[in-house]
Amino acid sequence: MDRITLTGVTAVGHHGVFDFERREGQPFVVDAVLYLDFTEAAQSDDVRDTAHYGEVAQRITEWITGEPLNLIEALAVRIADSLLAEFALQAVDITVHKPQAPIEVPFGDVAVTVHRERVPAAPALSGAQA
């Protein structure tokens, strides 16, 4: 499977379980790996035949800056599900980094990663089988 890798999409969000996180906000960084077939895009050389990574980055930013969530796990799943619904992807890996998480010991980063795949539609039953 072909893939597009988009790293470091950064915006300020208000996600977290603590009141001060929701009030003050903090940076969140998202990495996305988009799995799709490049065959048609390679033949047409047309951005409409691939996942436009500028639009993907914009959508990720909207999720980061949107409605606050308690968990970055929830944010990662929502981003993954929305990208699968909005773009012609077969699968997606989303990593959400929270580099300023309120952790009481020194740390470099905290991140969660989800992998989601497009679920094929169930075949419709014909009138005779229903």
CA distances in angstroms from 61 to 57, 69, 82, 108, listed in the order given: 6, 14, 12, 22
Extract the tokens encoding 107: 């740390």
Determine which one of 28, 34, 56, 98 is catalytic: 98
116-124, Cβ contacts within 8 angstroms, sequence gap of 24 or more: 116/77, 116/80, 116/81, 116/84, 116/91, 116/92, 117/84, 117/90, 117/91, 118/84, 118/89, 118/90, 118/91
* Residue where the block lists tokens 């639009």: 55
Question: How far is residue 49's CA from residue 92's CA, in Å, rounded to a whole number?
Answer: 17
Extract the tokens encoding 4: 């597009």
Clarify whether 66 is annotated catalytic: no
Positions marked active-site: 98
